[in-house]
Chain A
């Protein structure tokens, strides 16, 4: 969140954090207007799903597959073949699916949000809204934040299921693992509880709020021309990812207690 070095950079960073919290608070206050903005929420929701679903499937399938591939042979060698399903299941549900999907969405959707709002800012469209007494937070930020807060947890549930499938297929077909499909699922069901999936979904909900508010804030703070838009997009993605990783640790600590 800092773009300059030294004390000035620190001040800018804290200014940005303050502005992000303020924007989040203003968006929360505008929640009663959500029903009025339902069409825009639906449009944004559709756009997020449409833009991300295929990538989510591919990414999560191979994440599940690679966990099985990395852990399977080692565990089988030590006579712990029955633990493969549990390891794939719990790592995907609690950690990898929420974090990886959040990073993917930050790059795919957060960047698009920052670019769209940033170009509206640069080309005076946001000023035009304000002169019509239309609050940009209600019109632009609220629908995006609601849409991403619904879409990301849903994508994460989807990613967990597809990731498990990827792990199960590799576990059965890889000659160094060869764990039957049924045994993999049985072990996964023994280890993974509903609350583990709920934890992952809750994390992804928090990450969605981070991506939405950080990206919209960067868009609204855009100055300059096309170069300014490019800077905002980069900042939106980088800041979102940094905050996702930090909050992942904080949320994990809280949820483990």
Chain B
């Protein structure tokens, strides 16, 4: 069954409180009278013509929950591809969902988890070679991004090909980053799966 896992949230909250306390102590360090101090970084001027332009650096961490989809990401670390399925007998959509959804979009029933049995063999439906990627890309470029049709699924999930060159209709096998997991969707990928046939 689907269950939320709130543990990670607690840890983060505790960390935050400590940081706030530190800042308060710092503010009180004054000689004689209490003065407000500038505790930031000096804003660097990038250019003054045709107008003054300053730099504004940021480092941000978002605290993001996988919510009821947590079992999917936990499954990847165990080498399992898990999908959700609607078991409502009145609902026409019986196929599996990856990306999973906790609720059926058609009848709103809470879905159940099904683990696909290994080896999971899919077929490449579409692909691209990512050459120029945006900031923060975690895969070495260039790499092949692939959309893979998996039997029994309503969906065509996006992933990447670990090696080899894709073509539409090519068979591929799911593999998993179980040793050093990234705790993201990058923990599963595809490899060419060519049978003799």
- A and B physically associate: no
Chain A contact residues, CB within 8 Å of chain B: none
